Amino acid sequence: MNRLASDPSLEHCPDFASNIYQAIENLQAVWVVTSNTHKVQWQRQLQEDQAAATKQQSLVHGQLQVSCLEGAARQEEDRRQNPLKYIPIPDRSRPPCTIHDVLISDFALTRVIEGQYVALYYWTNGGLQADARFNHRTADNEGMGRSASPGSSTTAGAAHHARVIPDHSLTAIDFAQAVPRALASFKQCGWEAWRIQMLAAFWQALMCHDYWNSTNPLAERALFVYQDEQRRAWHQAIPLPDGAWDISILDQKEIRMTFDKIYREDQCRRDDEWDLQRLQSLQPRDEPDDHSSTRRARRSRRSSGRARQRGRGRRRSASLSVHSNSASFRN
């Protein structure tokens, strides 16, 4: 059926009584029938148009709902992957800074937020200048990645560039600079208060240890090696089934073993250097004959043997002296 172009109820019946029209009654009857038919068709047409419009609105509304749900899901996923974008920022002026408010590198900040081990170098003066203020190294961000297992120590490990000084090689000044700054960063990143207090007590116990003020530099180095090894092991043990331990309780036996190991390595290095210097001093400037060369080699071996015996005696006496000082301090 063809669609009507206008509402037939608005049309008026012509004056069929005029001279122009002849068959008045027949034409008027035909017009009335046709008009009534068009009126019914018009109402039906309006109803169909309304139904089609309602259906179209329902489809559009459904599509909008699906689009809103998909957008909300994408936003929620982005919020989960990039939480820093959605952290609210208060409408206030910049708060006053303290000496512990420092700008560490993105690599170190990411590790701290995850609760992972971070070398204290990143909070030293040298680390702050190298990584945060002047040279934001892209290698840090490119090397970051999550570890495959909870106890793995490889998280973002590839980002440790060559300039990072390990904890066991820090100086006492670097250590004193880094500790308060690191504790402040832990607090700002939302670490639990008990964990921060445990690490603070651990570092304080190291600085109160008798090795810390020892005149023997190897004793201080033993504390730094112990600190590095224990803190790494502590972080790795936290997600494991057996868990970690109170790191602030120092293992005196382990510290003494660490000192003995460092002392032996140092003495071996000194012996090797002394032997090398001795051999170099015995080498003749001119080409010697076979007999003189043999005699010099024999004297060199005898001298090296006596030197090693004297070195062993010095190592035993020095080790006993350090251990006796430790015992007297504890008593």
Q: How far is CA 249 from CA 96, 115, 224, 262, 327, in A?
A: 36, 21, 16, 22, 18
45 to each of 11, 27, 37, 49, 77, how far by Cα in Å? 18, 26, 12, 6, 48
Which residue intervals of the chain are DSSP H helices?
24-81, 106-114, 125-128, 138-142, 172-188, 193-207, 217-237, 252-282, 290-330
Cα separations in angstroms, 260 against 181, 264, 323: 32, 6, 10
Residues 6+ apart with CB under 8 A from 49: none
Cα–Cα distance between 132 and 136 in angstroms, integer? 6
Q: pLDDT value at position 100?
A: 52
DSSP labels for 204-273?
Answer: HHHHTSTTTT-SSHHHHHHHHHHHHHHHHHHHHHTTSTT----TTS--HHHHHHHHHHHHHHHHHHHHHH
Helix (H, G, I), strand (E, B) or coil at 184: helix
pLDDT at residue 280, as a whole number: 81
At residue 79, what are phi and psi to the nearest 5 degrees?
A: -65, -35
What is the arithmetic mean of pLDDT over 68-82?
Answer: 90
Each residue of 163-203: pLDDT tens digit? 889 999 999 999 999 999 999 999 989 999 999 999 999 99
- Our measurement of the distance from residue 310's CA atom to the centroid of its chain's CA atoms, rounded to an integer in Å, reads 51
Banded pLDDT at 161 (limits 50, 70, 90): low
222, 255 contact by CB (below 8 A): yes
Say what the pLDDT of residue 225 is: 95
Tens digit of each residue's pLDDT (9 = 90 or more) over 313-330? 555 555 545 454 444 434
The mean pLDDT of the chain is 78
Report residue 146 as tokens: 């999550």
CB-CB contact of 116 with 192 (8 Å): no
Is a pLDDT exceeding 50 seen at residue 43?
yes
Other Cβ atoms within 10 Å of 220 Cβ, number: 20
- Type of residue numbered 298: R
Tell me: the pLDDT tens digits for 267-296?
898 888 887 888 887 776 655 445 555 555
pLDDT at 305 over 80: no
Q: What percent of the chain has pLDDT over 90?
A: 32
CB 124 within 8 A of CB 177: yes
Give the chain's largest Cα–Cα span: 161
Q: Which tops the pLDDT comparison, 136 or 12?
A: 12
